[in-house]
């Protein structure tokens, strides 16, 4: 069948498209992402697009999802509480790769064991793990297991993983399942983030599968990974970390498909983030160091994408300057006041009007909080103060000027929001767009009141920030445009090997973008057009492109590019193995869990065997990941040293890549 249903679940909207291999997009629809119950937004978008297209559910051959939920969670520092089990590592290893920062106050269990560089085991001692097992499920929602040199021998990781699963029923991630690369602490970090995201992605896939069944769609369900490839839903459930940058990767695939352009800067603005990447000769570059999201450098293969906490729903706040603070946006996402009023009715505007009548202004005015609606299991491990505040929250928005009775509770609420348990509503750029009449889909009156409350905040000299709602809204949108241009320039400079973060905001760059006069007049431009994507692209990127003196393209269906990219990609799986020589004349294959440990006396024989093992594993995993017909290629990287004018084998890496289009309902 040539008809596919593409879905993109973002922080604010869930988009859906019906795509035909020959005709392209034949229908599209949007619905609000319902974070408390993802199935509602998914079902609404799915029902709308099926109705608009007049396509029978039985006519859909493939369903594929891209999502920014995992990316947003990491950018905003959200996710479930987890336990990390480290096997054979020292506690000092927590100070590497940002592991301690990522863990926060989550529990860590250190066990003796692990393996050496050649895969030989050290004694495994489970005593410390056994002691924590009776209460573990009450304190965390998932577990991560990382073993020393587990990529050479995963035996101890598998033992610990299976023990935790059997005793607690918790979802458990082992590091060797995610990466075959060395650097244990960074592999542990990747595993920790994966464990945090399991519940989130599981909820998304369960919601999608349930809505498909209810609608009568019987097609295979796929999910976009961070490198733009597709995998089956079951594959993604076990490896949710691989869906970070899923939405941005899908947007790149969709942008090339929609714009028909091979060289461009692709900028996709959503509710929470802006994602920017370079399209060069029709291909996005894969980051060889692994994806970086929310300050975490992972081991996940993903497009070389720069993700910034800047979007239509970014928190509007004051910068650090004492006297004349500049407006700051993000990285935290707030629920726009216009949206929360649209969803929950006049109680919101009544509260905002009460606050406008208050003189002097009340602390925390213009803000609300409500429960996010996530499963209770994710609230494990709350402190007494957190638990008390959480118990007073409901699924209806409550004004913070009455909810927070003490200053210390502001930090408590922020911690609950960081855990993804609470949503905070406040003034955002989306509200500013409503005030200025550029957006009209939510409640403009709530946006105007929120803007007016923000405008009367005082600067360092004690003066109001702006005279009225419209003036402050123009300042917010001007700031959004300027930051968007700076982020695009930063990405381009980084691609040129320069320090983009510093140079994009340097006095010279500012002078060029502001077109300031002077004896030295500066200008800048980019060597390729800027392609803007996202529902807010048309309201932001033409002005940002003008600041950079660069052509800007907003292609048709730019607002659903991610959903298009979700259905035009391929399944792609990579499997690697390492050949090592622990002693002269002894060659071993490491890094494959099903390798029987056969010893070879000849390097070429070991390489040939590794190629066959990797090819078979890649083809098998590609089919498990949802591919139909598969093609595979194998490469080898042999490292040698010259000793006494002779090349001596040191080690080798064999990599097999299997790829193919997803199997459809007709196949």
> Residue 304 has which token pair?
């070389």
The reply to whether 666 falls in a domain is no
pLDDT value for 323: 65
Q: Calculate ∠ Cα 68-192-77, nearest 5°.
A: 50
pLDDT value for 322: 56
Query: To the nearest whole number, what is the mean pLDDT of the chain?
Result: 88
280: containing domain: 3-75+201-308+563-567
Q: Are residues 428 and 325 part of one domain? A: yes
pLDDT value for 1: 47
Full DSSP string of 3-34: EEEEEEE-SSEEEEEEEETTTEEEEEEEEE--
pLDDT value for 321: 64
pLDDT surpasses 50 at 163:
yes
Q: Are residues 318 and 449 part of one domain? A: yes
pLDDT surpasses 80 at 315:
yes
The reply to whether 604 falls in a domain is yes
Three-state DSSP state, 332: strand
CATH classification at residue 11: 3.30.420.40
pLDDT surpasses 70 at 667:
no
DSSP state of 191: H
Q: Are residues 580 and 539 part of one domain? A: no
> Residue 310 has which token pair?
């800047």
pLDDT (average), residues 366-381? 85
* Percentage above 90 pLDDT, the chain: 47
DSSP state of 464: B
The reply to whether 649 falls in a domain is yes
Q: Which tens digit of pLDDT belongs to each residue from 167-182?
A: 998 888 888 878 777 7
Across 48-52, 223-227, 300-304, 425-429, the highest mean pLDDT is recorded for: 425-429
CB 150 within 8 A of CB 174: yes
What's the length of the chain? Answer: 667
CATH classification at residue 104: 3.40.50
The reply to whether 385 falls in a domain is yes
Q: Are residues 441 and 490 part of one domain? A: no
CA 393 to CA 144: how far, in whole Å? Answer: 31
Across 283-297, 454-468, 612-626, the highest mean pLDDT is recorded for: 612-626
Q: Are residues 227 and 266 part of one domain? A: yes
The reply to whether 667 falls in a domain is no
630: CB partners within 8 A, 6+ apart: 571, 619, 622, 623, 658, 659, 660
Three-state DSSP state, 466: coil
pLDDT surpasses 50 at 103:
yes
If pLDDT is split at 50, 70 and 90, which confidence band does 595 have?
low
Q: Are residues 597 and 626 part of one domain? A: yes
Three-state DSSP state, 183: coil
The domain boundary, picked from 169, 196, 223, lies at 196
CA 518 to CA 511: how far, in whole Å? Answer: 10
Q: Which tens digit of pLDDT belongs to each residue from 433-454?
A: 999 999 998 999 999 999 999 9
pLDDT value for 374: 76
Query: Cα separations (Å) of 562 from 66, 185, 253?
Result: 7, 33, 8
230: CB partners within 8 A, 6+ apart: 64, 222, 223, 224, 566, 569, 570, 571, 572, 625, 626, 662
CB 201 within 8 A of CB 70: yes
The domain boundary, picked from 412, 445, 476, lies at 476
Q: Are residues 185 and 155 part of one domain? A: yes
The number of CA neighbours under 13 Å toward the Cβ of 1 is: 23
Q: Are residues 603 and 639 part of one domain? A: yes
Q: Which tens digit of pLDDT belongs to each residue from 477-498?
A: 999 999 999 999 999 999 898 9
If pLDDT is split at 50, 70 and 90, which confidence band does 344 have?
very high
The reply to whether 533 falls in a domain is yes
Q: Which tens digit of pLDDT belongs to each residue from 534-588?
A: 888 998 999 999 999 999 999 989 988 889 988 888 898 888 888 888 888 889 8
Q: φ and ψ at 338, to 5 degrees? A: -65, -35
Q: Which tens digit of pLDDT belongs to each residue from 497-521?
A: 899 999 999 999 999 998 888 888 8
pLDDT value for 533: 92
pLDDT value for 527: 94
Q: Are residues 446 and 327 part of one domain? A: yes
Three-state DSSP state, 175: helix
CB 90 within 8 A of CB 307: no
Q: Are residues 145 and 97 part of one domain? A: yes
Q: Are residues 464 and 505 part of one domain? A: no
pLDDT surpasses 50 at 394:
yes
pLDDT value for 593: 63
Closest Cα to residue 7, out of 250, 213, 245, 305?
Answer: 250
Cα dihedral 442, 443, 449, 452 sign: positive
Q: Is the omega angle on the peptide bond into residue 438 within 30 degrees of 0, that is, cis?
A: no
pLDDT value for 597: 61
CA 200 to CA 66: how far, in whole Å? Answer: 14
Domain count, the chain: 5
Q: Are residues 448 and 493 part of one domain? A: no
Q: Which tens digit of pLDDT belongs to each residue from 276-293?
A: 989 888 777 777 777 666
The domain boundary, picked from 567, 598, 616, lies at 567
Q: Which long-range contacts (CB under 8 A, 24 or more apart) does 459-465 make?
A: 459/318, 459/323, 459/324, 459/325, 460/321, 460/322, 460/323, 460/324, 460/325, 461/323, 461/324, 465/318
The reply to whether 239 falls in a domain is yes
Go through 640-651 and write b for each residue having 16 or more CB atoms within 10 A of its CB, e for each that does not. Answer: eeeeeeeeebee
> Residue 209 has which token pair?
């599968």
The reply to whether 665 falls in a domain is no
């Amino acid at each position: 069948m040539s008809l596919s249903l593409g879905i993109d679940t973002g922080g604010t909207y869930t988009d859906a498209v019906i795509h035909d291999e020959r005709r392209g997009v034949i229908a599209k629809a949007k619905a609000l992402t319902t974070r408390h119950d993802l199935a509602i937004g998914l079902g609404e978008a799915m029902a709308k697009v099926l109705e608009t297209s007049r396509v029978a559910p039985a006519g859909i051959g493939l369903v594929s999802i891209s999502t920014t939920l995992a990316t947003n969670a990491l950018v905003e520092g959200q996710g479930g509480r987890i336990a990390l089990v480290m096997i054979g590592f020292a506690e000092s290893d927590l100070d590497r790769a940002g592991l301690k920062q990522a863990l926060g106050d989550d529990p860590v269990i250190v066990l003796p064991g692990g393996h050496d560089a050649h895969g030989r085991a050290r004694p495994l001692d489970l005593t410390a793990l056994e002691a924590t097992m009776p209460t573990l499920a009450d304190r965390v929602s998932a577990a991560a297991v990382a073993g020393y040199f587990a990529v050479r021998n995963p035996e101890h990781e598998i033992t610990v993983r299976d023990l935790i699963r059997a005793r607690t029923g918790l979802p458990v991630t082992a590091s060797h399942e995610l990466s075959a690369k060395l650097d244990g602490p960074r592999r542990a970090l990747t595993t920790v983030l994966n464990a945090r995201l399991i519940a989130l992605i599981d909820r998304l896939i369960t919601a999608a599968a349930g809505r498909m069944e209810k609608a009568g769609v019987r097609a295979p369900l796929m999910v976009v990974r961070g490198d733009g490839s597709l995998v089956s839903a079951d594959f993604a459930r076990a490896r949710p970390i691989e869906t970070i940058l899923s939405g941005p990767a899908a947007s790149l695939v969709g942008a090339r498909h929609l714009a028909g352009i091979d060289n461009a800067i692709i900028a996709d603005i959503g509710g929470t983030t802006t994602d920017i990447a370079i399209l060069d000769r029709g291909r996005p570059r894969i980051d060889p160091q692994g994806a970086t999201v929310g300050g975490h450098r992972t081991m996940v293969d993903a497009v070389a994408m720069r993700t910034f906490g800047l979007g239509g729903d970014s928190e509007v706040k004051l910068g650090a300057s004492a006297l004349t603070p500049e407006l700051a946006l993000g990285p935290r996402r707030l629920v726009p006041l216009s949206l929360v009023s649209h969803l929950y009715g006049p109680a919101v505007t009544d509260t905002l009007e009460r606050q406008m009548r208050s003189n002097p202004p009340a602390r925390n005015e213009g803000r609300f909080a409500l429960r996010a609606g996530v499963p209770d299991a994710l609230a494990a491990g709350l402190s007494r103060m957190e638990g008390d505040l959480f118990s007073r929250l409901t699924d209806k928005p409550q004004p913070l000027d009455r909810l927070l009775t003490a200053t210390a509770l502001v930090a408590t609420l922020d911690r609950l929001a960081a855990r993804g348990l609470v949503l905070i509503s406040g003034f955002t750029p989306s509200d500013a767009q409503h005030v200025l009449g550029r957006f009209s889909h939510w409640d403009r009156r709530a946006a105007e009141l929120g803007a007016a409350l923000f405008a009367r905040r005082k600067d360092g000299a004690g003066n109001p920030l702006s005279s009225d709602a419209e003036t402050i809204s123009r300042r917010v949108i001007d700031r959004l445009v300027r930051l968007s241009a700076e982020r695009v320039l930063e990405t381009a400079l980084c691609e040129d090997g320069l320090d983009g973060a510093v140079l994009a905001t340097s006095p010279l760059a500012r002078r060029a973008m502001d077109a300031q006069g002077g004896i030295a007049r500066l200008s800048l431009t980019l060597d390729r057009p800027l392609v803007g994507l996202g529902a807010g692209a048309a309201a932001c990127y033409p002005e940002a492109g003008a600041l950079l003196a660069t052509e800007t393209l907003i292609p048709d269906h730019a607002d659903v590019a991610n959903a298009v990219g979700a259905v035009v990609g391929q399944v792609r799986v990579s499997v690697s193995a390492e050949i090592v020589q622990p002693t002269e004349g002894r060659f071993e294959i490491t890094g494959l869990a099903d390798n029987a440990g056969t010893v070879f006396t000849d390097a070429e024989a070991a390489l040939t065997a590794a190629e066959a093992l990797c090819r078979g594993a890649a083809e098998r995993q590609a089919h498990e990941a949802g591919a139909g017909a598969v093609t595979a290629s194998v490469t080898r990287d042999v490292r040698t040293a010259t000793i006494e004018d002779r090349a001596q084998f040191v080690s080798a890496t064999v990599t097999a890549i299997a790829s193919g289009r997803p199997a459809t309902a007709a196949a």
